[in-house]
């Protein structure tokens, strides 16, 4: 904004001096029009305008040396001393009116000098204000630059936060998918656990059944063993009785010798049979123990394998019974062996 201050002049027909201040970014410039104070006793201060112009477009007027030295001076220079006042009492009588006019003009010049000093002071104030405004403008520009940098940093931070939000959203989506997969896996694991529990219950039932069968087989085996031991004990008792009879029947030694030979053969056969029986019993026991161990290890085996094992044990039992029948047949020839006994 341009500020223009005009200084009123008292001269009629002369242009007013102008104080023109350009924009605040430039230094204010004082432009005063020159005042012509040529004394023309015949024409009474006739103005002579000039075609020259000042830089701001104001026409330049020719001035007297008094006004040039009194009105226009550098801002830093000290004020010029006031010129001597005119008096109408001095001079020729015909110059009395001119003296009064000159005195009046001198008063106007003094007033204009005071106005000029005031304008210079205002110019200094304007210079100081311009410097202050320039400093404030630099401060505002620095603050604006800082604000722009802060805004750019905030924008970068906002973009970084947006990227972090996008990453967090992606992580949340992946976490939701992982949780859904984990829930599905948990459901499948629960179903598998239910199936496993059912299979375990069935396996325990089958194991209990096999253990019951094993206990039954073991009881039968113990009974067979006791019966076999009783047979052996009876054989030993018979042998002792025969020995006693041999001792008692020494008179019939020949017949008893034949009987003794027969008994010796029978005893040899019985011992061989007893050895075979013990061997078969041990084999049978090892087979039964192995079968029971296999049953315990293979709880979930098919029923066909169990039936085959049972048939095999039945066959071994029949063989044992056949052996016992042979033993009884040796001792009692009238005893008949079972029909299904193996040969």
Please tell me the predicted confidence (pLDDT) of residue 249: 65
Q: What does pTM read for this prediction?
A: 0.25
Reported as a pLDDT band with limits 50, 70 and 90, residue 242 is confident
Kindly state the average pLDDT of the residues 8-12: 39
How many distinct structural domains can be found in the chain? 2
- Of 112, 147, 182, the one marking the end of a domain is 147
> Which sign, positive or negative, has the C-alpha torsion 134, 135, 138, 140?
negative
Residue 175 and residue 177: Cα distance in Å, rounded?
5
Of residues 210 and 305, more confidence is placed in 210
Of residues 301 and 263, more confidence is placed in 263
Same domain, 122 and 256: no
In-domain check, residue 156: no
Residue 4: pLDDT over 80: no
Query: What's the CA angle centered on 332, arms 328 and 336, to 5 degrees?
Result: 70
Burial of 172 (0-12, 13-18, 19+ CB in 10 A): exposed
Same domain, 17 and 131: yes
pLDDT of 26-46, one tens digit each?
Answer: 444 444 444 344 444 444 444
Reported as a pLDDT band with limits 50, 70 and 90, residue 129 is very high
- Contacts of residue 135, defined as CB under 8 A and 6 or more positions apart, other chains included, come to none
Note down the domain range covering 307: 249-331
Reported as a pLDDT band with limits 50, 70 and 90, residue 163 is very high
> Which sign, positive or negative, has the C-alpha torsion 33, 38, 44, 50?
negative
Residue 10 and residue 225: Cα distance in Å, rounded?
162
In-domain check, residue 185: no
Closest CA to 2 of 53, 52, 60, 57: 57
Closest CA to 18 of 51, 53, 44: 53
Please tell me the predicted confidence (pLDDT) of residue 79: 45
Closest CA to 60 of 30, 35, 38: 35
- Strand ranges for the chain from DSSP E: 3-6, 18-21, 49-53, 59-61
Same domain, 123 and 255: no
Residue 61 and residue 13: Cα distance in Å, rounded?
13
80 secondary structure, DSSP code: P
Kindly state the average pLDDT of the residues 298-323: 79
Same domain, 16 and 140: yes
Residue 119 and residue 121: Cα distance in Å, rounded?
5
Residue 204: pLDDT over 60: yes
- Of 120, 147, 174, the one marking the end of a domain is 147
pLDDT of 273-282, one tens digit each?
Answer: 888 888 888 8
By the 8 A CB rule, do 306 and 210 touch? Answer: yes
In-domain check, residue 327: yes
Please tell me the predicted confidence (pLDDT) of residue 340: 53
- Of 118, 147, 176, the one marking the end of a domain is 147
As a whole number, the mean pLDDT across the chain is 72
């Amino acid at each position: 904004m341009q500020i223009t201050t005009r200084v009123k002049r008292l001269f009629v027909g002369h242009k007013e001096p102008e104080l023109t201040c350009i924009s605040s970014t430039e230094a204010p410039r004082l432009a005063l029009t020159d005042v012509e104070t040529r004394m023309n006793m015949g024409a009474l201060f006739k103005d002579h305008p000039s075609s020259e112009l000042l830089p701001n477009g104001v026409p330049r007027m020719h001035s007297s040396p008094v006004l040039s030295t009194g009105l226009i001076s550098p801002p830093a220079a000290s004020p010029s001393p006031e010129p001597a006042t005119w008096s109408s009492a001095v001079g020729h009588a015909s110059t009395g009116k001119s003296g009064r006019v000159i005195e009046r003009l001198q008063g106007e010049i003094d007033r204009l000098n005071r106005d000029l000093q005031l304008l210079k002071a205002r110019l200094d104030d304007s210079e100081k204000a311009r410097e202050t405004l320039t400093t404030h403008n630099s401060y505002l520009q620095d603050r604006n630059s800082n604000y722009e940098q802060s805004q750019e940093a905030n924008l970068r931070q906002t973009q970084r936060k947006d990227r972090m939000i996008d990453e967090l959203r992606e992580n949340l989506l992946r976490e939701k998918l992982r949780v859904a997969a984990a829930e599905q896996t948990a459901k499948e694991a629960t179903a598998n656990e239910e199936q496993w529990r059912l299979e375990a219950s069935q396996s325990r039932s089958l194991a209990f059944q096999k253990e019951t069968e094993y206990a039954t087989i073991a009881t039968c085996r113990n009974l067979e063993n006791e019966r076999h031991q009783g047979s052996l004990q009876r054989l030993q008792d018979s042998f002792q009785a025969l020995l006693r009879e041999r001792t008692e029947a020494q008179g019939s030694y020949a017949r008893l010798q034949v009987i003794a030979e027969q008994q010796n053969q029978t005893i040899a056969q019985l011992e061989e049979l007893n050895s075979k029986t013990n061997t078969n019993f041990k084999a049978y026991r090892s087979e039964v123990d192995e079968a029971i161990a296999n049953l315990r290890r293979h709880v979930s085996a098919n029923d066909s394998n169990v039936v085959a094992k049972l048939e095999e044990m039945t066959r071994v039992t029949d063989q044992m019974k056949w052996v016992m029948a042979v033993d009884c047949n040796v001792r009692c020839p009238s005893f008949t062996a079972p029909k299904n006994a193996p040969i």
